[in-house]
Amino acid sequence: MNDETTPFPGSASRPGSGQGQDNIVDLVRQLTSQGSHLAEQQLQLILAEVREATDDLKAAVAGMLGAAVVGIAGLGVVLMGIAYLLGDAIENLGLATLIVGVVTLVVAAILYASARKKMSATHLSPERSRRTLERTPGAVRGDLTPGA
């Protein structure tokens, strides 16, 4: 290898330093640049996957809402049938309807309390993960300041 040929673009020798040191510096610079680019590409891939998952989630929620509407209508019909059967058994349709309604409301209150307890225990915002992903390209470049 002669003095004019360099193994990497931009790796011309600096005055006062050996060719081996320049090659190492250039390799580290290229490695850092490629690592940063890879981290940025990974972040873009993660964001695309999150968007796709969100779209799938929206479609699933819409389907569940449709099922809930039909299910509520069906539950109403079943409860009316139970009220009529209970009314025939106790020979008081009004009281039977009231009993079925109260039992249904108690079951609904129990389900609501359970769901509310679970909801309060969850954290729906992935703030730490988002901040970590946003800082990853900078950290690969060597910038470890949290605000950057």
Query: Is 123 domain-assigned?
Result: no
Q: Which of 34-38, 45-49, 66-70 has the highest mean pLDDT?
A: 66-70
Query: Is 9 domain-assigned?
Result: no
Q: Is the predicted pLDDT of residue 1 greater than 50, yes or no?
A: no
User: Domain range spanning residue 88?
Assistant: 19-118
Instruction: Give mean pLDDT, residues 132-143.
Output: 68
Q: What pLDDT sits at residue 50?
A: 84
The percent of residues in the chain predicted with pLDDT above 70, rounded, is 71
Q: How many domains does the chain have?
A: 1
Query: Is 139 domain-assigned?
Result: no
User: CA nearest 103: which of 114, 91, 95?
Assistant: 95
Between residues 124 and 131, the one the model is more confident about: 131
Query: Is 136 domain-assigned?
Result: no
DSSP of 23-78: HHHHHHHHHHHHHHHHHHHHHHHHHHHHHHHHHHHHHHHHHHHHHHHHHHHHHHHH
Query: Is 46 domain-assigned?
Result: yes
pLDDT in tens, 79-102: 999 999 999 999 999 999 999 999
Q: What pLDDT sits at residue 49?
A: 85
Query: Is 28 domain-assigned?
Result: yes
Query: Is 42 domain-assigned?
Result: yes
Q: Is the predicted pLDDT of residue 10 greater than 60, yes or no?
A: no
Model confidence band, residue 138 (pLDDT cutoffs 50, 70, 90)? low
Query: Is 66 domain-assigned?
Result: yes
Average pLDDT, the chain: 81
